[in-house]
Amino acid sequence: MAAESGSSRYSAEFDLPLRGDAITAERYISTAFMERESEHLWPRVWLLGAMVAEFEQEGDYVRHNLGKESVIMVRQADDSIKAFYNTCPHRGNRLILGDIGGSERITCGYHGWQYSSDGLLVHVQDPDDFPGGDPCGKVSLSEVRCETWGPFVFYCMDTDVKPLLEWLAPLPERLKDYGLDNWIRVMYLSADADFNWKIIRDNFNESYHLPTIHPELSTIINDGLPDTLFEMYESGHNSMWMKGHQASTRNPSFQSGEVPSPLDDVARAWDLDPADFEGRSADIREAIIEAKRRLGPERGYSNYVNMSDQQLVDYFHCTLFPNLTITMSPEQCQIMSTEPHPTDPQKCIFHHWVIVPPVEGMKEVVTPIGPVPMEWAEHRHSVYGDGQSVGFVADQDLSIGASQQQGLNSRGFNSCFLTYQEKRVQRFHELLNDYVDTDTINTEALT
């Protein structure tokens, strides 16, 4: 269980009390818990399904599978986007089998029923052979709520859930100055992985693992606890501000003032001489803010103008309930989600997008899989461990997932024993418990 207090900084404005529910292995390994999530969680939350830019003309669609469910989002004649369950009202055949496409009509591959982009049945074989007469114009695909935030398309299977922007609060407001609307998805990867979807959710809800799993980040991100700000919101989402362009207080160079690599290269990229900062490397962060303000617009970073100093150099890591992570830097946004496997609670599907602002003249951009063209990326799906990277830092996160899943299957594991800074992990599971109406709630006070 999480301790009541600690050295980490939870914002006084955005801190929340916890119950101390026990986090046992059941939720990571049992089919019964997975089925409760299928029944009570996934249909009642907003889920990221696509990007607005994927829908260029009427009839363009994106399919999104989630566990056993499948939804299609379709561009309408009035440029809006509607979503439908991906099932044919005739006898239930799945309508769309590919990830993305476009057509004037949605045609079922079984008996050829056809639907217009607004989901209305417009053509059947043998229309006179129905007891009630021709069903065209009377039957529709089953609709799902669909709303957009900036460049993103979300869907929700429940009619009682709040509208998307209220659901996401306060993050649309907190992220608006990055100007995400016209950003381009230059990396789109997914992978089957051998662990429950919540393992990576937990991982993204804490930074306690950074010194061990991502030690190289300590040369460019200050992951020291006193310098990291955590926030938890009533909506169930969380965030963390980490100081960027500064070595970690855990890294020897922070004390010595030596300029570590790659911070030296970043300084040079903004016309700063690392030698000027020897003995005071922490000052590079402020100097880069000034350099970005001065040089950014002429280098094509027109989005810098609205950003705060903090946004110009730091990392804003947002974990949205239940399964979405958005990590912001001014030049790149990483979006990661984990989704349940259709039948196996000990597997999941990991998704990793990178979106970047369009910068005039820039032909290539560096991503977690190396340099890629500055253009919309194709989706690449793999099986984690087959040698294809899902992004350098994400590879490190996923590398621990399988071994944690194995350990959670041990008779020797009791329940999680959390630090104070892992409060967001605790919060995630308590909210999850509220959804699945679990009987495992432990109301003991935090110790």
Q: Nearer to ligand FES by C-beta: 108 or 259?
A: 108
> Which of the ranges 105-113, 247-255, 394-402, 430-438 carries the binding residues for ligand FES, by CB under 6 A?
105-113
110 counts as binding ligand FES under rule CB under 6 A: yes
Q: Token digits for 319?
A: 């974990």
> Which of the ranges 103-111, 137-145, 345-353, 404-412 carries the binding residues for ligand FES, by CB under 6 A?
103-111
SS3 277: helix
Q: Token digits for 163?
A: 């509208």
152 counts as binding ligand FES under rule CB under 6 A: no
Q: Nearer to ligand FES by C-beta: 124 or 312?
A: 124
Query: Using alpha carbons only, how large is the chain's radius of gyration in Å?
Result: 24
Taking the complex as a whole, the smallest distance from the CB of residue 76 to ligand FES amounts, in Å, to 22
392 counts as binding ligand FES under rule CB under 6 A: no
Torsion of CA 369, 373, 378, 380, to 10 degrees: -20
Taking the complex as a whole, the smallest distance from the CB of residue 121 to ligand FES amounts, in Å, to 10
93 counts as binding ligand FES under rule CB under 6 A: yes
Taking the complex as a whole, the smallest distance from the CB of residue 113 to ligand FES amounts, in Å, to 4
107 counts as binding ligand FES under rule CB under 6 A: no
Taking the complex as a whole, the smallest distance from the CB of residue 72 to ligand FES amounts, in Å, to 14
Q: Which of 68, 91, 105, 268 binds ligand FES (CB under 6 A)?
A: 91
Count CB atoms within 10 A of the CB of residue 112. 11
123 counts as binding ligand FES under rule CB under 6 A: no
> 168, 320 in Cβ contact below 8 A?
yes
d(CA 413, CA 345): 18
105 counts as binding ligand FES under rule CB under 6 A: no
Q: Nearer to ligand FES by C-beta: 112 or 407?
A: 112
CA distance readout (Å), 67 to 29, 71, 73, 406: 15, 11, 17, 22
Residues making up the chain, counted from first to last: 447
Residue 378 has what DSSP assignment?
A: P
Taking the complex as a whole, the smallest distance from the CB of residue 108 to ligand FES amounts, in Å, to 3
> Which of the ranges 21-29, 108-116, 219-227, 430-438 carries the binding residues for ligand FES, by CB under 6 A?
108-116
108 counts as binding ligand FES under rule CB under 6 A: yes
Backbone CA torsion sign across 402, 405, 410, 416: positive
The 42-81 contact track toward ligand FES, x by CB under 6 A, reads: ----------------------------------------
d(CA 283, CA 291): 13
113 counts as binding ligand FES under rule CB under 6 A: yes
Q: Residue 75: name the closest of 90, 63, 58 by CA.
A: 58
Q: Total residues at the site for ligand FES (CB under 6 A)?
A: 9
Torsion of CA 263, 250, 319, 308, to 10 degrees: -50
Q: Which of 17, 77, 79, 111 binds ligand FES (CB under 6 A)?
A: 111
Amino acid identity, residue 415? Answer: S
Q: Nearer to ligand FES by C-beta: 44 or 94?
A: 94
Q: Which helix (H) or strand (E) holds 268?
A: helix 263-269
Burial of 83 (0-12, 13-18, 19+ CB in 10 A): buried
94 counts as binding ligand FES under rule CB under 6 A: no
**CA max distance for the chain:** 86
DSSP lists the bridge partners of residue 348 as 193, 340
Binding site for ligand FES (CB under 6 A): 88, 90-91, 93, 108, 110-113
